[in-house]
Structures are given as structure tokens and as C-alpha cells.
Chain A
């Protein structure tokens, strides 16, 4: 391995570098040109504080592109990239920010000596260019992933996922049928300039239903100056025998205009476990985004459009159609279908498209009072292909069109020097259309129209030099009007004939045509405090209440789930779930050492879970039936991050997360809680060896010992005689420990550009493992060793 590495760097290292040293200086002000003394300026590995007149100067900066971050408490952090090939003057005006303090979350790299932001920055995101949002979010302790195979990855925040996690993409709440556990976020991770995570309900600006948390994706900042910059990232990976290319170009003008164009193309064939090909797991993505904006003296506007298109193969062996198939899969210990490697993707598969378009306008009435208006349009199409017979062979089994129009108005202003507030209203109209005409399959998720309206207010108060308090409140109205066909036999079995006979509006053969209508009024709120114990030690605390309405799957499901061979039933009687989360964090950051410890307690009433209830017989044999039920749930956990520079070029970075989930109604553990996990990275950095970074990461996931026992007995007749057989679906797979290697070097090329060459090996030891939170764990091992080369050009 050493020799391969050496060779890679030898190839890349032919360019001898001469560093020229430059100075970046300037002045940090607010928008009224008042100096912001003490602003933190990070420029690459350099660091400075602005003087009393807002000025700063950093010298010794080498040629190339420089990531600059400027922060000042109460103002929006500015992240940008500037090209440095002579001395640069950077005058920046920061915009006020109200809602930052309640975000009790961790930032990824504490070594950057910065406690107020909690995010994954662009340079880390770039490592995930060929992967997905869900993969990148695992960088934050307490965030894990719910997977289906290796390409469908959903974030789990403190044990919660799907409808309980809001994803806000460029200030638009992503509406991409996020209720499904196999529905990964429909967005390209390459569009993100920065990702922040709010664990818990305090992202009130975006919604009151974030029981788990909110993921906020922001675009890269384009400064108001004549500049053009871009980057291209090319990945090649051995596992999947494919890669990705992503490219973006940004242009800023002195007169305030700016634009950006970005595209990604991804192509992978079958992935491989250590011992076999994971047949039919290839994927493709074609993504595009474009923005055009204007930032004037007192107002500005922007237009943004993004398009996401993915085709994702689902592991062939995970498609089952009966319990005896499931038993065979579990007992055999290896996939029932293993074919030669191919780039082809056949059924079962998903084809997804997401369009997002938005217009944003803002205006300043005074230095601190700002009004923002935004309209956004989203259209999501989801096609799921199953194995079908005859004429239907090439028809999708699921074809859902989800269209969302949303409008937001946000106003922020100062009451006084010490008190700021932000308030807003939002409205949305959503239409879901199930194209049953095209699929000829009964729609599990019905056609519906949904109207939402919300209003919120957040205030922050600087009590004294050390203490900042924040309070927020939100009200949401939601009205859903659905049309759904129910099998008459199911309607009666559910007892709907007693409770819902008034919603039947038609009859069609064996089915009732019904019109369920629900209206909800929800309240949510948040209370937060930040206390600066000393300049190294900060304490955050937050209490939040969130309310979430039952999602379409929880209300309306009534069919067979092919990945699990179970029939899943929703319930029209389900109520909203309400969470109360208390969270606190202690953050220490000093030269060379930093840590954060974040314990929390979350109690959720009417928490929706799927529980097995019975077994029904059919011509395809027996099927277990799982129903959505509501229970009172409790979760407590702790997230840890530590970072230590224990020698000049050596850094140790560690994250750990533990969550304990209990179904308090039935005194049972909650299903699908992430097991204790630890990540430890040892890295070696040497700036003057072409910014060499070598890192070895250990990812350890323990066995989840707490799980509800949902095993069941069923009569299996494969041998002729009915044999009562235990179906062991509950026990989580054994824990595992993986090693990953990564390395990179950067070179200046063509004067104004920087090239970074990375070489990674994931699962270095080719370890066989299965993950509890992977829905294909019954059928196949997880991914084997993967060699990846990444070429990154910043220009």
C-alpha cells in the first residue's frame, strides 16, 4: 500500500512549488459601515481579530485559493473563497442574524477554534462529492444514517429520521416525499457550500415539526466584487467501478450582480461486498443548479433553480414476495441472487426527479431591520419499479408527483442594542398525485391537497457580556384533503365502517372511494441560553417543543412492502406527535485542544412506530402485518466531540454518540435506535509538503443490545409438512469496526489555480459487516474495500 501511495504522490508531485507570500487585509463593518471590532477572521490556517476600527491584516499567505470565514456574534457568518496571487484588500460588511443562538449543535472540526457555528464546511463536503447528503452528515456526532443498500442514505439525528428531520435546501423546506424510509433526500450534496445541523426543534424559522432536528444547506457565498471562481471535482472509485464529476463556476461583479452554474454527473455499476457482487445496486445521477442574484446597497434579489435526477438500483436479493423468501434469505446468510458485475440497472429500482425553483427578495429599512420575501416551487416525481409480469413488466409500481408552492416573509429588526427579533409568516400549497393510471397498482399514498400556514417570532436578548437568551414561538395550521380507494375488506377490518362511514364518497367493485380530511393546529416553541464561562469555555442550553402531524404513510399505508415482505397499515385515527427536548452543551476550545459534550433528553407523546400485530394468509403464503401505532417515547443520549493536536503535525479527532430509546407505553426498547458508535481519526498534516494530509480513521459501531423482540412464528410448508418456524427479524447484527485511510496533497497549477489530489481507501481491511440501520441487512453484507481517487481543481 505504501508503494502505491508513494507512486500516486510521485505522479502528482512533479510540480515544484515556490510559495510567494501575500497579505490579506481589510475592514469588517456592518451594513451601515460601522466597524465590528473583534470580528474573527479565519483565512485558511491563519486567524485574526479585527481591531477597534474593524481593520485586520493577515500576512504570509501563499498563492492560491483561500477559504475565508468571518464571524461576529449576532451577525451572519460569511464564508467565501478568494483567489490570492497578490496582496488582497477585503472589505466586508456582515449582515445581522437573529436566530443563531438556539442552535445547540456541534461544528465538525473544533480545531478551527470557533464555537459559535455548527456545521460541515465546503472542504469536508468535497470529500463526499461522489456520495450523498446522508453520508456527509455523519461527520457530525449524533448524526447517523438510515440506509437502504449503500446509495439510499437518510440522516438520523439523535435517533430520529424521515418526517422528523427537516431538510432546508437554500432556505426552502425540501418536500420530496421524505416520509418513506427508502426515500433519500432528493438533492445533490455538491450544491452545498455549508451544511449546519440543529439537533432538536429550535429551527423555528423553518417549521415547528422538527422532532429530530433540522439540516440547513446553504450555497457558497459569492462576494460583491469582480471575481470569477470555480471548482471541478472528479472521483473515481474501485467499488462500483464508477465515479462522479461535479463542476461549478461562480461570477461576482462589483455592481452587485452575481451568478453561479453547477452540475454533477454520477455513474456507478454494481457495488461489491467483500465476498460477492451486490447485484443491481448501481446508480446514476444528473444534477444541475443555477443562480442569479443582485446585492445592492439596501436591497437584493436572487433566482435559483436546481434539478436532481437519480436512478438507483435496489439490491436484487432484497426483493422478496413472501415470508418463506425472507426466511431463506435470513438463514442462508448470503444474497439469494449474485450475478456478475454489471453497470445495468433493472427492477427493483427507483427513478427520482426533483425540481426546485425560487425567487428571493430582501430590503433593508435601516441598518438592522430587514424584510425578506421568498416564493419557491418544488416538483418531485418518484417512480419505483418492482419485478412485474407480462405486459406490466416495464411499468412502475409507484408513480407519485408531489408539487409544492411555498411563500415566506421574514422580518428582522432590533428593539434595542441588546434585543433583536425576527418574525415571519409562511404559506404553502401541496398537491400529491398518484398516477395509478400509469402503474395499474393501487396507490398506497393517495391523491391529496394540503394547505399550510404558519407564523413565528424569535427574539434574542444580550443580558450581559456573557449571557445571551433566546425565545421563540411558532404556530402552524395544516389542512389535508385526500382521496383514497380502500379495499372493502380492509375498510371493515380497520373498523373504519364504524368511525369513518361519513367519508365514503363512492364505490367501485371491491373498493370504497373515500375523502379523508384532517385539520391541525400546532404550537411549538423554544427557549435557549448561551453563557460564556470564559473565552474558552461556552455553555449552551435549550428547551424546545415540536409538533408533527402524522405523515401520509402513517395515515394511509395499506399494502405490501417488498423490501421487508410485510404488510404495512396506516391508521386514520392517528394524532399529531409532540416532542419536548432538553439539550445542553459544554464547549471548550483552546489552542491545540477542543471538546464538546452534548447530553439531551427527548420525550415524545404519540410517537408513531410500526409494530407487528398479526399474520394474514394469502395465495402467496402468510404475511406478517405491521401497523402504525402511537406510543409515548423517551430518548436520552449524549454526543461527544474532541479534537487534540498532540504534536506539531499530528491531530486526533474523535466523535462518539450514544442514544437510549424507550417505548414507555409498552416498556420496550424503541426499534431502529442507532447503537453506540465511535469515530477516531488520526491525521498528519504538513503544510510545506504540498499541504500533505494523511489520515487513518477508525469507525466502530457496537452491537445494539436494546431492541424490541418482534420475532414471530409462521407455518412454512416448503417440505410438504407445515413446520412452525421462528422468523428472526429483530436481533441487530453484530457490531463492527472499520478502518479507512485518506490522503491528499495540493499543488498550484497554472498560476491562479490549485489542484488537490486525494487518495482514499474505505474499509481498508475489507471487513465483512452488516449494519443495524441498513434495510438490506437481512440479505447481504455491506460494502467491501473501496479505493478512490479524487482530483479537485479550484480556479
Chain B
């Protein structure tokens, strides 16, 4: 019996304590907020910039301000690159670098309505050779018209799922870190 009693005391002693702390309030400018997404498309002698800027972040009431600097030309291949910033921090912080550092946990997906254009991933890939999407190409078709160019960033997607490496979001899973739609126009320049 003494064994049980001894064991029960020993068990009680196993549970450990840790210390208390206290702190004063600090203003916080959140580091992970992506306030600004800029897509730069270069091709046909032009550069077109698409920007979505949401300075009060996801939790603020204001909607992002979406701007597109110009029209795309038909039958043109553009070199695309993405840049992500947290402009709520001072100085503004680059989220692009963080994404590159954790490339295997991130992938961008592109969709363009009305079959105005197609996209393809460009290097650099992540350490497993899977696409990331910070760089891409966008090729417009012969048709002109208006539509929507949507950029989605998924955190911790399943890059091995069917079609995901080719840019199909359907099986990607993960969480949405970015989801922005730009109105685009394809017109003869």
C-alpha cells in the first residue's frame, strides 16, 4: 500500500509550474498583413502594373483600392512578377522575401475570365521543384474584350495533388492568404 501512496505523491510532484509575467500595452503594426499586392506585366514594349492596396488590412473596414495602369495587347506574351508588401509597418516590409524563404508552403494561382489570356509558371521553383508563382508568363489571345484577372495565394497547399503544379487550384487545399481580382481589358494598342 505504501507503494501506491508513494507513487501518488510522486505523480503529484511531476506536474510543473511556470512563471507569471505582466506587460504594458504596446501599439502593434502587424507584421504578417499583406497590405499591397503588385503584379507587373512586361511585354510588347509596355509595362502594365496591377495593384491592390488595403492599408487597414483584412480586419479593417475599408476595401482594398484596386488599380490597373493600362490595357493589355492581344496576342502578346507578358513576363509577370509579383511583389507583396506590408505597408502598415514602418518602414514597409517585403512579404515577397518571406514567401521565397518558405516557398514550399506557398503557391499562387491565376485565373482569367472570358479566355482572354493564359498563364504559366516561371522559375524560381521551390526546393522540391514545384512552382511558386512569384514569376509567371501571361499570354493574351487574339480576341479583345474585358474580364477579370484573379490572383490567389494559398498557404500550405497540397502541391502534389492532381493538377496543382500545373496551376489548377481545384485540388490545392490550404488557406487563402491573398485573393484579389483585377478588371482587365485586352484591346489593340
Interface residues of A (CB under 8 A from B): 228, 230, 232, 245, 247-249, 261-265, 286-288, 290, 307, 309, 319-322, 324-325, 328, 336-337, 353, 355, 379, 381, 387-392, 401, 403, 431, 433-443, 446-447, 483-485, 487-490, 493, 508-511, 513, 558-560, 567, 616-621, 623, 717-722, 750, 752-753, 793, 795
Contacts and interface: CB of A to CB of B under 8 A. Distances in A.
B12 A620 contact: no
Interface in B30-78: 30-32, 34-37, 52, 54-64
A379 B4 CA distance: 32
Given A436-B26, A567-B58, 20 more contacts: A247-B11, A263-B12, A263-B13, A286-B16, A307-B15, A337-B173, A387-B175, A403-B20, A436-B25, A440-B30, A443-B25, A447-B24, A508-B27, A509-B27, A510-B55, A560-B59, A618-B57, A619-B58, A620-B179, A621-B180
A403 B20 CA distance: 10
Contacts of A437: 23, 26
Contacts of B8: 230, 232, 247-249, 261, 263
B11 A513 contact: no
Given A263-B15, A437-B23, A617-B64, A490 B56 contact: yes
Contacts of A387: 155-156, 175
23 contacts: A249-B5, A263-B14, A321-B155, A324-B179, A381-B21, A389-B32, A433-B23, A436-B28, A437-B23, A439-B28, A441-B30, A446-B25, A509-B29, A510-B88, A513-B27, A617-B63, A619-B36, A619-B180, A620-B34, A718-B111, A718-B152, A720-B148, A721-B148
Contacts of A717: 111, 148, 150, 152, 179, 181
A701 B148 CA distance: 47
A558 B113 CA distance: 35
B162 interface: no
A299 to B, nearest CB: 28
Contact of A247 (B7, B147, B148): B7
Contact of B59 (A290, A434, A440, A567): A567
B189 interface: no
Contact of B61 (A322, A438, A490, A511): A490
Nearest to A353: B18
Contacts of A434: 23, 25
A287 B15 contact: yes
A167 B82 CA distance: 52
Given A232-B8, A721-B148, A392 B181 contact: no
A288 B178 contact: no
B120 interface: no
Given A325-B176, A337-B173, A718-B152, A753 B1 contact: yes
Contact of B111 (A320, A508, A720): A720
A440 B28 contact: yes
A484 B28 CA distance: 11
A288 B148 CA distance: 59
A390 B26 CA distance: 22
Interface in B76-106: 88, 90, 95, 98-99, 101-102, 105
B32 A795 contact: no
Given A440-B28, A490-B56, A717-B150, A401 B176 contact: no
Given A263-B11, A401-B22, A795-B4, A620 B169 contact: no
Contacts of A435: 21, 23
A620 B177 contact: yes
Interface centre among B24, B35, B156, by most A CB within 10 Å? B24
Given A401-B22, A720-B112, A750 B1 contact: yes
B42 to A, nearest CB: 22
B171 to A, nearest CB: 10
Contacts, number: 226
B111 A620 contact: no
- The 10 nearest A-B residue pairs measured at CB: A263-B12, A621-B179, A720-B111, A247-B8, A288-B15, A322-B176, A508-B27, A390-B98, A493-B61, A618-B58
A487 B30 contact: no
A618 B176 contact: no
B30 A442 contact: yes
A286 B15 contact: yes
B27 A722 contact: no
A441 B64 CA distance: 21
A619 B179 contact: yes
A249 B10 CA distance: 11
Contact of B1 (A262, A442, A484, A752): A752
Contacts of A381: 20-21
A388 B156 CA distance: 11
A298 B64 CA distance: 72
A115 B146 CA distance: 76
Residue from A488, A719, A721, A793 whose CB has the most chain B CB atoms within 10 Å: A721
B59 A722 contact: no
Given A263-B15, A721-B113, A618 B1 contact: no
A193 B179 CA distance: 53
B16 to A, nearest CB: 7
A336 B181 contact: no
Contacts of B150: 717-718, 720
B88 to A, nearest CB: 7
A710 to B, nearest CB: 20
A115 to B, nearest CB: 36
B56 A487 contact: yes
Given A485-B27, A490-B60, A719 B176 contact: no
Nearest to A309: B15
Contacts of A431: 22
Contacts of A616: 61, 63
Interface in B91-140: 95, 98-99, 101-102, 105, 111-114
B1 A489 contact: no
Nearest to A393: B102
A43 B13 CA distance: 33
A390 B150 CA distance: 25
Contacts of B90: 509
B16 A325 contact: no
A717 B180 CA distance: 9
Contacts of B99: 389
Contacts of A325: 175-176
Nearest to B64: A619
Contact of B7 (A232, A403, A719): A232
Contacts of B179: 322, 324, 619-621, 717
A136 B88 CA distance: 47
A717 B176 CA distance: 12
A559 B20 contact: no
Contacts of A484: 25
A391 B98 CA distance: 9
Contacts of A265: 11, 14-15
Contacts of B178: 619-620
A617 B59 CA distance: 9
Contacts of A389: 32, 95, 98-99, 102, 105, 155
Nearest to A625: B61
Contact of A489 (B27, B61, B111, B148): B61
Contacts of B25: 434, 436, 443, 446-447, 483-485
Contacts of A309: 15-16, 18
A240 to B, nearest CB: 20
B115 to A, nearest CB: 9
B9 A249 contact: yes
A645 B132 CA distance: 68
A490 B105 CA distance: 32
Given A401-B21, A618-B57, A390 B175 contact: no
Contacts of B15: 263-265, 286-288, 307, 309
B27 to A, nearest CB: 4
B117 to A, nearest CB: 10
A392 B12 CA distance: 35
A441 B37 CA distance: 21
Contact of A440 (B31, B95, B147, B177): B31
